[in-house]
Structure 1
Amino acid sequence: MKSIIFEKTGKPTEILKSTDVPMPEPGPNEVRVKVIAAPINPSDLMFVQNLYGIRPQLPSGAGFEGMGIVDALGEGVQMRMGMRVSFTSIGTWSEYAIAHHRSLIPVPDSMPDDIAAQLFVNPFTAYAMVQDAKVPEGGWLMLTAAGSAFGKMVIQLCKMRGINTIGTVRRDGLNEELKALGLTEVVNVETENLTARVKQITAGAGVNCVLDAVGGHTASEALKCLGRGGAMLIYGVLSMQNPTIDAGLLIFRELTVRGFWLTDWMRRVDSHTRQDVAQNVISLLASGAIQLPVEASYSLDQIAEAVDHADRHGRWGKILIKP
């Protein structure tokens, strides 16, 4: 079978390749999944570059999530063969992948494959972060990199909850689409002064919370946009630069800055909370209430083109690998 393997860490376009490997067999508590589709997320590309919280054990597969059909069961697994499932593992960019049975989420018939492939990482992170942000109805939440798949999910969730949103962009090409999804205000950080615009938008009060994926200068400026008692949740560093933290702001506005990683959040919360998030996310996606657009799909043999496309600025949808 074909699988994307890398033997050293580095630039994804240069080191990822489709390789013929033996068919994997599931061990105890594991299943084998025939992969139908798997997304390319920023965390996948960070992992390949050895910049993620989980370090690759070389040689390593790539891809953290996907969807497919249960193809084989390991010892101790009671599950129906042929089920459509969303799953997480290391090495989902492959014709077949091994996953722990607890990582599987049954996919309802009403959910298309392209949506099911994106079920976990972005939707769960977005839902959990909006919960953690604790912005009241009528309050303001700001998100950087608003045009990302994650950003679009947050915008739609906030609209449902009556939360006002400010999104930062670097180009104006997606502004109308973001507004149609429910974004209240958009700020182009290349042409506008972020702190001045946010002060104007919020009548000087500032925002309740910032969800930041960019880091660097954008995050430093976004911190200044927080109102008294506000919080910044950092879940990515797309700029590959650390923000500059103004200690005076933290002290005199009583601000909070902390990181968010879905892996740790899933470990931290109780089973009831995890089930609640799963049920709500599945319901929203299956009903079409939340949209997860796909821009393009590639085969395993087109992996270099796929990761190059996924890393481009200005995308309007997710890039999928379809073995």
Structure 2
Amino acid sequence: MKSIIFEQTGKPADILKATEIPMPEPGPNEVRIKVIASPINPSDITFVQNLYGIRPHLPSGAGFEGVGIVDALGEGVQMRTGMRVSFTSIGTWSEYAIAHQRSLIPVPDAISDDVAAQLFVNPFTAYAMVQDSGVPEGGWLMLTAAGSAFGKMVIQLCKMRGINTIGTVRRDDLNNDLKALGLTEVINIETESLTTRVKQITDGAGVSCVLDAVGGHTATESLKCLAKGGTMIIYGVLSLQDPAINAGLLIFRELTLKGFWLTDWMRRVDSQTRQDVAQNVISLLASGKIQLPVEASYALDQITEAVEHAERHGRWGKILVKPS
């Protein structure tokens, strides 16, 4: 079978290649899945570069989530083959993948393959982080890199909850689309002062929470936008630079600065919470209340073009890898 493999870490476009490997067999509590589609997420890119929270064991497969059909069961698995499932694993950019049965989420018919491929990483992270933000109805939440797939999910969730949102962008070509999704205010950090605009928008109060994916200078400036007692949650470092932390701000505004990693959140919360989030996410996606657009799909042999497209600025939708 064909799978995307890398033998050394580095820039994805330079090192990823479609490779013929033996068909994998599921072990105890595992299933084999015939992959239909898998998204390219920022976490996938950083994993290939050896910059993620878990390190690749070389040679390694790539891709963390996808949708597919269960076609073989390992010992101890009590389910039927032929089910369409969303799943997480390492190596989902492949014709077939092995996944632990605990990672499987049965997909209702109302959810398309393109949406089901993205069901876990961004929706679960967005839902969990909006919950953790503690921003009440009528309050202000700010998110950096608002044009990302994750940002769009947060915007839509906040609109449903009556939370006002400020989103940062570096280009203005997506502003109208983001506003249409429910973004309250947009700030172009290339042409406007972030701190000045946030003060204007919030009548000098600042925002209750910032969700930051960028790090570096953007995170440094975003910290200054927090209201007294506010919280910044960092879930990515797209700039590959650490923010400069002003200790005085933390002390005198009583600010909280913390990180978020979905893997740890899933381990931390109880099974009932995980099930509740899954049911809520599936309900929102199945009803069409939350949109997860796809910009383009690529075959395994086109992986170089696919990752280059995924890292392109100004994308509106997710890039998918489809084995067939």
Range of TM-score over shorter length: over 0.9
Q: Deviations over 1:241-300 (max 9, x none)?
A: 000000000000000000000000000011111111000000000110000000000000
Q: Look up the SS of the partner of 2:153 in the other structure.
A: helix
User: Pairwise mapping of residues 142-157 of structure 1 onto structure 2 (< 5 A)?
Assistant: 142-157=142-157
- Counterpart check, 1:86 vs 2:89: no
Residue matched to 1:303? 303
Q: Which residue of 1 aligns with 2:134?
A: 134
Kindly provide the CA deviation profile for residues 6-29 of structure 1, in whole angstroms up to 9, marking residues without a partner as x. 000000000000000010000110
Whether 1:168 and 2:168 are equivalent positions in the alignment is yes
- TM-score normalised by the chain length of structure 2: 0.99
Q: Count matched residues.
A: 323
Alignment-derived partner of residue 292 in structure 2: 292
- Quick one: distance in 1 between partners of 2:270 and 2:72? 30
Q: 1:26-65 maps to which residues of 2 (within 5 A)?
A: 26-65=26-65
Aligned to 2:218: 218
CA RMSD of aligned residues (A): 0.3
User: Deviating runs (4+, > 6 A) in structure 1?
Assistant: none
Counterpart CA distance in 2 for 1:215 and 1:275 is 31
Measure, in 2, the Cα distance between the counterparts of 1:126 and 1:113: 20
Partner residue, 1:208? 208
| Equivalent-residue separation in structure 2 for 1:98 and 1:271 (angstroms) | 22
How many angstroms apart in 2 are the aligned matches of 1:71 and 1:286? Answer: 24
What is the CA-CA distance between 1:80 and the residue it aligns to? Answer: 1.3
Q: Deviations over 1:39-59 (max 9, x none)?
A: 000000000000000000000
SS of match in other structure, 1:37 = strand
Distance in 1 of aligned mates of 2:245 and 2:200: 23
1:20 aligns with 2:23: no
Question: Using the alignment, how far apart are the partners of 2:116 and 2:28 within structure 1?
Answer: 26
Deviations 1:37-79 (Å, cap 9, x if unpaired)? 0000000000000000000000000000000000100011011
List runs of 5+ in structure 1 lacking aligned partners. Answer: none
Partner secondary structure for residue 3 of structure 2: strand
- Alignment partners' CA distance in 1, 2:237 and 2:314: 17
Aligned equivalent of 2:115? 115
Q: Which residue of 2 aligns with 1:239?
A: 239
SS in 1 for 2:37: strand
Q: Which residue of 2 aligns with 1:70?
A: 70
For residue 54 of structure 1, what is the amino acid of its counterpart? I
Q: Which amino acid aligns with 1:80?
A: R
In structure 2, runs of 5+ residues without a counterpart are none
One-letter amino acid of the structure 1 residue matched with residue 58 of structure 2: L
| CA distance in 2 between partners of 1:51 and 1:136 (Å) | 34
- Matched residue type, 1:11: K
